């Protein structure tokens, strides 16, 4: 999962399996959270968002879970495909700005 | 029909030079941002502008001067470039300052020789 550290955390998943990427956020006052996907040479691309009055939100093949008690966010990707290979960032919205996590690199094993 | 576009995509220059990066969004958003991403992929906000007014300046050196001629444009001018300025700079936009997804450009890779 994402954390403050020197190395980009890596998650390797077999193609077709589900992926779960975790994120711990810091600001208990944050009320809006976003997951981004960043492919090589591209900017972060919006995947899904969730507001603090929800604990789960589903999109196409993706689900975001929010646990405000422990300040934890996760992104689940169903039936992971080669095109899902990227760096995934969580971001929290507090104080009128987005604070990004350090990112997790998702690698798909064929 | 690119939503947020930045130019140039690559910028290679010598220490001490002055350079500019341009950003335009065609999403009709009223808020624009500049972010810096370092070699470890850490993404940090530098500035945000709402309706052409500076909202956030995250202790960025005053060698960096953003300019917003209108709501659709936010350019970044950097004076006296230093080695530590090497990074990828991303422009983004959103509708409003809070609780809205930000849409990013594809970045400008700045390399200082």
pLDDT-based confidence at residue B1 (cuts at 50, 70, 90): low
Domains contained in chain A, CATH given: 10-109 (2.60.40.10)
Interface contact A110, partner B, CB < 8 A: no
* Chain B residues with beta carbon closer than 8 angstroms to that of A51: 99
Geometric angle at alpha carbon A92, from A87 and A94, rounded to 5°: 150
Chain B interface test: which of A98, A99, A101, A105 (most B C-beta within 10 Å): A98
Nearest by CB: A96 against B4, B44, B98: B98
Asked whether residue A7 carries a pLDDT value surpassing 90, the answer given is: no
Instruction: Tell me the residues of chain A between 63 and 82 that have a Cβ less than 8 Å away from chain B.
Output: none
CB contact under 8 A, B99 and A31: yes
Distance CA A53, CA A87 (A): 27
**pLDDT per position as a tens digit, A30-71:** 999 999 999 999 999 999 999 999 999 999 999 999 999 999
Please name the CATH architecture into which domain B4-97+106-112 falls: Sandwich (2.60)
Beta strands in B1-113 (DSSP E): 4-7, 10-13, 19-25, 31-37, 43-50, 53-57, 64-70, 73-78, 87-94, 103-104, 108-112
How close does chain A come to B80, measured CA to CA in Å?
26
How much is the pLDDT for A80? Answer: 97
Interface contact A43, partner B, CB < 8 A: yes
């Amino acid at each position: 999962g994402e954390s403050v550290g020197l190395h980009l955390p890596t998650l390797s998943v077999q193609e077709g399996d589900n992926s779960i990427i975790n994120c711990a956020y810091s600001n208990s006052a944050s009320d809006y959270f976003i997951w981004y996907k960043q492919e090589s040479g591209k900017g972060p691309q919006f995947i899904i968002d969730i507001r603090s009055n929800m604990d789960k939100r589903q999109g196409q093949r993706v689900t975001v879970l929010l646990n405000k008690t422990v300040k934890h966010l996760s992104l689940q990707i169903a039936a992971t495909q080669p095109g899902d290979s990227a760096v995934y960032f969580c971001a929290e919205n507090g104080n009128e700005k987005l604070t990004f996590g350090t990112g997790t690199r998702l690698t798909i094993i064929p | 029909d690119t939503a947020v576009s930045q130019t140039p995509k690559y910028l290679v220059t010598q220490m001490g030079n002055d350079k500019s990066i341009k950003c335009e969004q065609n999403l009709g958003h009223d808020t624009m941002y500049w972010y810096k991403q370092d070699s470890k992929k850490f993404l940090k906000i530098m500035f945000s502008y709402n309706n052409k007014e500076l909202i956030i300046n995250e202790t960025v050196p005053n060698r960096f001067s953003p300019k917003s001629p209108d709501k659709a444009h936010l350019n970044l001018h950097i004076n006296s470039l230093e080695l530590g300025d090497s990074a990828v700079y991303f422009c983004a936009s959103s509708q409003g300052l809070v609780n809205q997804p930000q849409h990013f450009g594809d970045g400008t890779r700045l390399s200082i020789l």
